[in-house]
Amino acid sequence: MALNLSVKVHPVVLFQIVDAYERRNADSHRVIGTLLGTCDKGVVEVTNCFCVPHKEYDDQVEAELSYAMDVYELNRRVNSNETIVGWWATGHEVTNHSSVIHEYYSRECVNPVHLTVDTSLQGSRMGLKAYVCVNFGVPSGKQGCMFTSIPVDISCYDPEVFGLQLCQKTISSSGRAKNTNPMLDLAQVAEAGSKMGTLLDQVLSYVEDVLAERQAPNNQVGRSLLHLVNSVPHMTSEQFSEMFNSNVKDLLMVISLSQLIKTQLQLNEKLTLLTSV
């Protein structure tokens, strides 16, 4: 059952893990913590996390479990939907102490997930891996456990996508202060349209190269393109223009009504002040 799990991690979780690693004590080689989220139909969605202070020695691990439970209870008051789904650790591999820590989280939830974030940048990238612990052994004999990798992906809500796009713009900024302000609505539409045109050019170039046998075809990319084409409604340019103009008219009507209501409220407020004088 555990092998059928898959993990979706939100960007805020990765930011919190990196922040905890940067704030670690000088004598700490790695940082661990608790993963919070939901589990539904074999998909573990990690939406939050927090750090758990601990110390690792050659023969034992000391973790402040009472602190971890206090922080978890505080998180439950803010968001009751988030429960413990596993634990995380910085590094690119599972260590000898991981089984001991995993045993504790096995008492807190069913099939806990172990997430590793490679903050040491092995291979010039921050690797992200997820594991579950699978029991093995012979009947009536000695039992053991083994960490087995499971699929892990990055999942984003719409506000998180917008925040990541703003963070990406700070990469090219010069100086220590890297400030980027949100753009106006029309500027965002223009930028999205420009990005869409660039992506379409890349897709067309790839398809033309495959048809001309200049590039080897990729079946997964082909299936994704087929799904993309089938998801587009079949309509003529006149029908699309009519639908677009209708939506624009509805949007303008909503904006006009909201501005009218705002003006009426301001006028009502001023009249109230005049009558009270």
pLDDT digits (tens, 9 = 90+) for 158-168: 778 777 777 77
For residue 87, what pLDDT is reported?
94
Mean pLDDT of the chain: 85
Q: Which of 154, 183, 203 is the last residue of a domain?
A: 154
Residue 16 in any domain: the answer is yes
Q: Answer yes or no: do 131 and 258 share one domain.
A: no
Residue 87 in any domain: the answer is yes
**What whole-number percentage of the chain has pLDDT above 70?**
90
The residue whose two tokens read 């990690």 is 46
The residue whose two tokens read 């009947």 is 139
Q: Which of 154, 173, 197 is the last residue of a domain?
A: 154
Mean pLDDT on 25-51: 90
Residue 55 in any domain: the answer is yes
Tokens at residue 150, please?
Answer: 């499971």
Q: Which residue has the higher pLDDT, 274 or 67?
A: 67
Domains held by the chain: number = 2
CATH number at residue 53: 3.40.140.10
Which residues are registered as beta bridge partners of 40? 43
Q: Answer yes or no: do 10 and 141 share one domain.
A: yes
Q: Answer yes or no: do 8 and 143 share one domain.
A: yes
pLDDT-based confidence at 16, cuts 50/70/90? very high
Q: Answer yes or no: do 147 and 262 share one domain.
A: no
Q: Answer yes or no: do 150 and 239 share one domain.
A: no
Residue 206 in any domain: the answer is no
* Beta strands 6-9; 54-56: pairing state: unpaired
Give, as one character, the DSSP assignment of residue 4: G
Q: Answer yes or no: do 260 and 150 share one domain.
A: no
For residue 170, what pLDDT is reported?
72
* Angle (deg, nearest 10), helices 11-22 and 158-169: 50
For residue 178, what pLDDT is reported?
56
CA 69 remoteness from chain centre: 24
Q: Answer yes or no: do 141 and 14 share one domain.
A: yes
Residue 70 in any domain: the answer is yes
Q: Which of 107, 128, 154 is the last residue of a domain?
A: 154
Mean pLDDT on 13-28: 88
What kind and span of H or E run contains 7? strand 6-9
Mean pLDDT on 107-121: 89
pLDDT tens per residue across span 87-96: 999 988 888 8
Q: Lowest-pLDDT range, 44-53, 82-91, 141-150?
A: 141-150
Q: Give 115's contacts (C-beta < 8 A, 6+ positions apart).
A: 7, 9, 35, 46, 86, 87, 88, 89, 128, 129, 130, 131, 152
The residue range of the domain holding 74 is: 2-154
Q: Give 116's contacts (C-beta < 8 A, 6+ positions apart).
A: 88, 89, 90, 91, 92, 93, 94, 127, 128, 129, 130, 131
Q: Lowest-pLDDT range, 20-24, 150-154, 232-236?
A: 232-236
Largest CA distance in the chain: 90
Backbone angles phi and psi of 95, in degrees to 5: -100, 175
Mean pLDDT on 175-185: 62
Residue 185 in any domain: the answer is no
Residue 99 in any domain: the answer is yes
Residue 256 has pLDDT above 70, yes or no: yes
Q: Answer yes or no: do 137 and 25 share one domain.
A: yes
Q: Answer yes or no: do 248 and 130 share one domain.
A: no
Tokens at residue 137, please?
Answer: 């052994």
**What whole-number percentage of the chain has pLDDT above 90?**
30
Q: Answer yes or no: do 124 and 24 share one domain.
A: yes
pLDDT-based confidence at 37, cuts 50/70/90? very high
Burial of 116 (0-12, 13-18, 19+ CB in 10 A): buried
Per-residue 3-state assignment (H helix, E strand, C coil) for 133-191: EEEEECCCCCEEEEEEEECEEECCCHHHHHHHHHHHHHHHCCCCCCCCCCCCHHHHHHH
Mean pLDDT on 165-188: 67
pLDDT tens per residue across span 117-139: 998 887 777 889 999 988 776 67
Q: Answer yes or no: do 139 and 243 share one domain.
A: no
For residue 233, what pLDDT is reported?
79
Residue 169 has pLDDT above 60, yes or no: yes
Residue 94 in any domain: the answer is yes
Q: Answer yes or no: do 137 and 16 share one domain.
A: yes
Q: Lowest-pLDDT range, 166-170, 181-185, 222-226?
A: 181-185
